[in-house]
Amino acid sequence: MSQSNKVSPAGPVKLSLKYKIVWGIAALGTSLISGIFAALLPIFYQDYLGVQAKWIAAASAIYAVWNAINDPLFGYITDSTRFKSGRRIPYMRFTAPFLALTFIMVWFAPPLAGQQALFWWMLVSMILYDTAYTMIGLVYSALLPEVSESDAERNGLQISSSLFGLLGTLLGFIIPDMFRPKGTESLSFLPLQMSMIVVAVIGATLIVITTLVVK
């Protein structure tokens, strides 16, 4: 636990404001990435790359099945393993770069590829992204009751993550609109792709910062 947290001899550790903010920035990182993923992915593949609706639907259906399976699977894995630095923190810390890389991969599909090639790129990148996102999300949620024995302190952490998460979601809708091709502009994906790299690095960094402080 951070030394900035005050310990009362009569009760559980009182978490500092700094600690709660650092806890919350992981939610900012994950929701920033997930907000953009949810808002922009269908537009990017269908409207910009021209992937037919049937391929989008097929990829989404397979993605939904994997999303339903991986929650209990990764929950079991994280509950069943331990590391010197903790049972959950290493999963969150070392999955963050993978989340960034798979998020970036989504936006670098080869634009001149055929329908089936784009389908497979979309599907594989979605599944890899969701694997990383689910692992981090499960660990982050499971850490909450382990960080403090106090309901009041847990509520404070939950409020922090909710507020930062809301901010990340809002930015996730605003940022893509600033950089995506519009109207009669030439269909250059470079500004969007560069912005997605920046978002991925920032998001992963925020997650890692949380893991370096939270014990």
Any domain includes 7: no
Any domain includes 1: no
Any domain includes 6: no
Looking at residue 37, which CATH number applies to its domain? 1.20.1250.20
Residue range of the domain that includes 53: 14-213
Counted domains in the chain: 1
102 contact partners, CB below 8 Å, separation of at least 6? 125, 128, 129, 131, 132
Residue 15 is which amino acid? Answer: L
Any domain includes 141: yes
**CB 181, CB 48: distance < 8 Å:** yes
How many C-beta atoms surround the C-beta of residue 19 within 10 A?
23
What's the rounded Cα separation, in Å, for the pair 70 and 72? 6
Tokens (6 digits) for 97: 């770069």
Nearest to 158 by CA among 170, 147, 169: 147
Any domain includes 2: no
Any domain includes 61: yes
What's the rounded Cα separation, in Å, for the pair 117 and 64? 20
pLDDT tens for the chain, residues 1 to 215: 344 454 444 455 788 899 999 999 999 999 999 999 999 999 999 989 999 999 999 999 999 999 899 888 888 887 777 766 667 888 999 999 999 999 999 999 998 889 999 999 999 999 999 999 999 999 999 888 888 778 888 899 999 999 999 999 999 989 988 888 776 555 678 889 999 999 999 999 999 999 999 87
129 contact partners, CB below 8 Å, separation of at least 6? 37, 99, 102, 103, 105, 106
Any domain includes 209: yes
pTM exceeds cut of 0.95: no
Any domain includes 3: no
